[in-house]
Amino acid sequence: MAPYMGLINEMTDEQKHIVVTFIKESMEKPEKCDSPKTNAEIIREKYKNLKISPEIQRLRGCMKLTEEELQDERTKYILGL
């Protein structure tokens, strides 16, 4: 603590409160989720409000995708497959 005493003495009460709140929150354990989401579910949730641009819609017929790319959740969503 010795190196921080000078710094702490120069802080206002508001600044000290902010530091204590930060330390307190950083020590809290995150809530455990009953069932962790799969990557596909996370991606679907993230992109559910994404608007597909007309440029991407036009590319659908022009693109050559591998089977792996066709199975990718992000690619499926972006291309509206």
Task: For 22-45, write each residue's pLDDT tens digit.
Answer: 888 888 876 666 677 788 888 888
In a domain, 43, yes or no: yes
Confidence of residue 48 (pLDDT cuts 50, 70, 90): confident
**Residue 5 within any structural domain of the chain:** no
Token pair recorded at residue 54: 């007309």
Report if residue 74 sits inside a domain. Answer: yes
Domains identified in the chain, total number:
1
19 domain residue, yes or no: no
Domain enclosing residue 66, as ranges:
39-79
What are the tens digits of pLDDT across the range 53-64?
777 666 666 767
Q: What is the pLDDT of residue 39?
A: 84
d(CA 4, CA 6): 6
Residue 61 lies in a domain: yes
Q: Would residue 9 count as lying in a domain?
A: no
Residue at 29 is within a domain = no
